[in-house]
Structure 1
Amino acid sequence: MNDKAEKGAMQVDVQLVRDLAALLDDTNLTEIEVEDGDRKIRVARKAGNGHGAPAYIAAPAPVTAAPVAAAAPAEAATPAAAANAIRSPIVGTAYLAAEPGAAPYAAIGSTVKAGDTVLIVEAMKVMNAITAPHAGTVKAVLVDNGQPVEYDQPLIVIE
Structure 2
Amino acid sequence: MTDKQEKGAMQVDVQLVRDLAALLDDTNLTEIEVEDGDRKIRVARKVGGAPAAVYAPAPVAAAPVAAPAVAPAAPAAAAEPAVPAGNVVKSPIVGTAYLSAEPGAAPFARVGAQVKAGETILIVEAMKVMNAITAPVAGTVKAVLVDNGQPVEYDQPLIVIE
Relative to the length of structure 1, the TM-score reads 0.50
Count of matched residue pairs: 85
Contact preservation (8 Å) 2:84, 2:160: no
State yes or no: 1:114 paired with 2:140: no
**For residues 125 and 132 of structure 1, what CA distance do their matches in structure 2 show?**
22
CA drift at 1:101: 0.3
In structure 1, what residue type is equivalent to 2:83? P
Q: Which residue of 2 aligns with 1:123?
A: 126
CA drift at 1:125: 0.3
RMSD: 2.0
**Cα gap change, 1:137/1:80 in structure 2, threshold over 3 Å: closer, same or farther?**
closer
CA drift at 1:80: 4.2
Q: Which residue of 1 aligns with 2:142?
A: 139
Q: Which residue of 1 aligns with 2:15?
A: none
CA drift at 1:119: 0.1
In structure 2, what residue type is equivalent to 1:152? D
Q: Counterpart of 1:114 in 2: which secondary structure?
A: coil
State yes or no: 1:96 paired with 2:112: no
Deviation string, structure 1 residues 107-149 (Cα, Å, up to 9, x no partner): 0000000000000000000000000001000000000000000
State yes or no: 1:79 paired with 2:83: yes
In structure 1, what residue type is equivalent to 2:132? A
Q: Counterpart of 2:133 in 1: which secondary structure?
A: strand
In structure 1, what residue type is equivalent to 2:121? V
Relative to the length of structure 2, the TM-score reads 0.49
Q: Counterpart of 1:103 in 2: which secondary structure?
A: coil
Larger Rg: 2
Runs of 4+ in 1 over 6 A off after TM superposition: none
**For residues 136 and 109 of structure 2, what CA distance do their matches in structure 1 show?**
14
Unmatched 5+ residue regions in structure 1?
Answer: 1-49, 51-71
Contact preservation (8 Å) 2:89, 2:158: yes
Match runs of 1:1-159 below 5 Å? 76=81, 78-81=82-85, 84-159=87-162
In structure 1, what residue type is equivalent to 2:123? I
Unmatched 5+ residue regions in structure 2?
Answer: 1-61, 63-78
